[in-house]
Amino acid sequence: MGGANKRKSLILCEGDESMTEKEVNQRATTITNHRRLSVIVFSLFFSWLLAFPFEGRILYALADDYNISAKSFVFGTLAAHFAGLLACGFFVRNMRTAKRLMLFSIAFCIAASAVFFLTPSFLWRLALISAAFLVGCCVAAWGFYFKGCTPKNERIKTMADCLIFSNLLMILLNMAAIHISPHIGLAFSMIMLAMACLFALKLPKEEAPEAPSSGQGEISVGKADPLAFLCLFVVVITINSGLMYQVQGPAFAHLTWLTSWYWAVPYIAALFIMRNLPRKTNRAYILYVAIAMIGFSFISFLLLGRSWADYLVVNTLMLGACGVYDLFWWSILGEMLELHKNPARIMGVGLAANVLGVLLGGLIGNAAASGQSHSPTLLALGVVCVTLILLPPLHARLTILLKNHAYLTTITEMPDQAQTQLICAFSITEKLTEREGEITALLIKGKTYRMIAGELHVSENTVKTHVKNIYSKAGVQSRTELMNLLLDVHIPSTESENP
């Protein structure tokens, strides 16, 4: 009941204040139904993607059946998927077109999957690459429903639900392909697609007319920077996923029964835990723990053997960390959909960064595996170090841009994440430039001009100039007055939230 009441009050705040209680209830029910539909469609479609074209076990099982290498399909498929994600935003510009594209893409993927009941030929490659391109377009187009069918403050839960259900279904498809028959697994995956198509028919063709439109056209330079930095971070962090596919996975291929179902279990468990953490939990610390888990996974892979117990250690660390980070950047993308009137473009760019990271990781893993046996692991540890360097500046940029995101609680000694709330409260006025916002964040942390200059790689004179501008815009004369101003802005909002 608490969640329903919160949703109703949110609708009252965002919509017309003259709406009756009955109209509010009807709208809340409509939003809930549309959210469920969008989750179902994504989960069914994405389970097929994970189990088949995206380095899925069905594809590998079919290739093994015919004694051919699945790797000959993988990189072309990933490249086509990457292209589809980027292309979608240029020709899909509203929900109606997005729905049509999704229905066409799902139907085409059913037909493309049927080709794999035939003996291997050039049709396999043609069907797979064509389907992969349309899959990319379809997933990017789903961004319209991610934005339009889920209130902004609930998108982290929607994304967690989508990833959890799609991976559970993927496990079932994998087990069918491995333990019964690859063609049985393929048939079941086509059933998932057919069900996705049926549910997609019920999706709305356009956003509710009373829903507020927050799209802002083209993204401004100040807001494009955090998106670009997020994409860079996603590319780097998912290189480890590509290395995992090409290095860790094949090393435990002999544990067929265990790998067929346990592979995604830690991933699902991490998603479930992160989804249900109390709001006040500081998830920012968990991001650093997850980076450490990736590092320990590759160290364990280097030091341990190849038994089932070793697999449990390596896979649990790696996939648990992947669950934490996937929900992080997926949910951040969900918040960033508000920055552009075309969510397919934001969704496509963000997910293309993920595919690019997997593709690069796979290429690096293949190249390194042909040389020294330990080089992929050392490369992975290098990627972990780069990730650690990128995370703090990414966190700072996103905190200034996005307000109240669950992952963006600041890492300081102030109780109840007060500093993040203060910075967000002050930045609402939009008086500060992006650089001035960064310097403000460092000022209230007690950093000296020299320390700020060192962190931002600018001169002390530049910092002093920015500080003068900050004080001028805020109407204060000192750091103490700036803190007092921020506290004055913050305290009333806190009191209003806790009557």
Q: At what angle do helices 57-65 and 155-179 cross, to 10 degrees?
A: 20
Largest CA distance in the chain: 77
Looking up tokens 């109703």, which residue turns up?
8
Residue 35's alpha-carbon distances to 29, 113, 135, 453, in angstroms, are: 10, 28, 21, 46
- Percentages (nearest 5) of helix, strand, coil residues in the chain: 80, 0, 20
Name every residue whose Cβ is closer than 8 Å to that of residue 450 and which is 6 or more positions away in sequence: 460
Determine the distance from the C-alpha atom of residue 266 to the mean position of all C-alpha atoms in its chain, rounded to a whole number. Answer: 17
Stated pTM of the model: 0.75
Q: What is the reported pLDDT for 408? A: 66
**125-129, 293-297, 357-361, 380-384: range with highest mean pLDDT:** 125-129
Model confidence pLDDT, tens digit, residues 83-101: 999 999 899 989 999 999 9
Mean pLDDT on 401-426: 53
Model confidence pLDDT, tens digit, residues 216-271: 555 554 566 778 888 888 888 888 777 777 777 778 888 888 988 998 999 999 99
Contact 363, 242 (CB under 8 A): yes
Mean pLDDT on 392-415: 63
Determine the distance from the C-alpha atom of residue 159 to the mean position of all C-alpha atoms in its chain, rounded to a whole number. Answer: 8
Model confidence pLDDT, tens digit, residues 131-185: 999 999 999 999 999 998 888 778 889 999 999 999 999 999 999 999 999 999 9
Cα angle value 303/307/311 (rounded, 5°)? 75
Mean pLDDT on 374-384: 73
Q: Which residue has the higher pLDDT, 43 or 409?
A: 43
Contact 185, 51 (CB under 8 A): yes
Q: Where are the beta strands (DSSP E) in 166-308?
A: none
Q: What is the reported pLDDT for 180? A: 94
Which CATH number applies to 415-497: 3.40.50.2300, 3.30.380.10, 3.30.420.40, 2.60.40.10? 3.40.50.2300
Q: What is the reported pLDDT for 391? A: 81
CATH 1.20.1250.20: which residues of the chain? 24-205
Q: What is the reported pLDDT for 11? A: 45
CATH 3.40.50.2300: which residues of the chain? 415-497
Give the architecture (CATH level 2) of 24-205.
Up-down Bundle (1.20)
Name every residue whose Cβ is closer than 8 Å to that of residue 482 and which is 6 or more positions away in sequence: 440, 443, 444, 470, 471, 474, 476
Mean pLDDT on 363-372: 65
10 Å CB burial of residue 350 (0-12, 13-18, 19+) is: buried
Direct distance between the N- and C-terminal alpha carbons of the chain, in angstroms, rounded to an integer: 20
Class of domain 222-393: mainly alpha
Model confidence pLDDT, tens digit, residues 444-487: 766 788 888 888 888 888 988 888 888 877 767 777 667 656 55
**153-162, 163-172, 206-215, 339-348: range with highest mean pLDDT:** 163-172
Q: What average pLDDT is seen over the chain?
A: 80
